[in-house]
Copies of this chain bind each other. A is one copy, B any other.
Amino acid sequence: MPENERGARARTRQAILSAAIDVLGQNPAAALSEIAAAAEVGRTTLHRYFPERSDLLRAVAAEGSARLDRATASAKLNEGSGADALLRLCREYFDLGSLLSLIFTDPECLGGATPILDDGCDDRFSAMIDRGHRDGTIDVALPAPWLSSLMWSQLYAGWSYVSHQGASRHEVLELLVRTVDGAVAPRTTTG
């Protein structure tokens, strides 16, 4: 991945990467010709930037991980109550858009940085949940890995809801935050 690309080359490379995220999110087995078409680029050009399919997948993984890290950083997981931080994280991740589909339908694609279904999920995430358990904003019966699963599955459901149906982004985000909030809150009645 040449760092020194400028102008047209950098723009074309980025267009291909974004198209790849969109198309592979819809169908992880998509043909390269589909990705090229989505990027409004010839298949020849695609091969010029990413000689083999695996090269493209690697670049997609890098781009996806970068976007994910940026979103995680924006959420400032170590500020406020545990539950507040979790909801902030949902809001940030929701902005990842079609990348959510890719992460969810092809969890392996991000390589080592797979956020979903990691047994010992992300350290920052676990720390946030632990804080929530201690400060009483997150139900102690719900362990961190399960909450990770929960969050990701709802993010994917929300994004599908927006993209496949014509639902409003804001409306769906509020529904999502409401349900996640309710799901993690400690029970008021014992049952």
Contact = CB atoms under 8 A, between A and B. Distances in A.
A29 to B, nearest CB: 4
A105 interface: yes
A6 to B, nearest CB: 38
Given A149-B161, A160-B117, A161-B146, A183 B188 contact: no
A184 interface: yes
Interface residues of A, number: 34
Contacts of A141: 175, 178
Copy count, this protein chain: 2
Nearest to A161: B149
Interface stretch (A47-55, A68-76, A90-98, A150-158): A150-158
Nearest to A148: B157
A183 B151 CA distance: 12
A179 B188 contact: no
Contacts of A165: 117, 119, 145
A130 interface: no
Q: Interface centre among A146, A158, A160, by most B CB within 10 Å?
A: A146
A159 B49 CA distance: 39
Contacts of A157: 149-150, 152-153
Given A146-B175, A182-B182, A183-B183, 12 more contacts: A117-B165, A141-B175, A142-B179, A145-B165, A149-B161, A150-B179, A153-B154, A153-B156, A179-B184, A182-B183, A182-B184, A188-B188
9 contacts: A29-B29, A117-B160, A141-B175, A149-B158, A150-B154, A152-B157, A153-B156, A180-B183, A182-B183
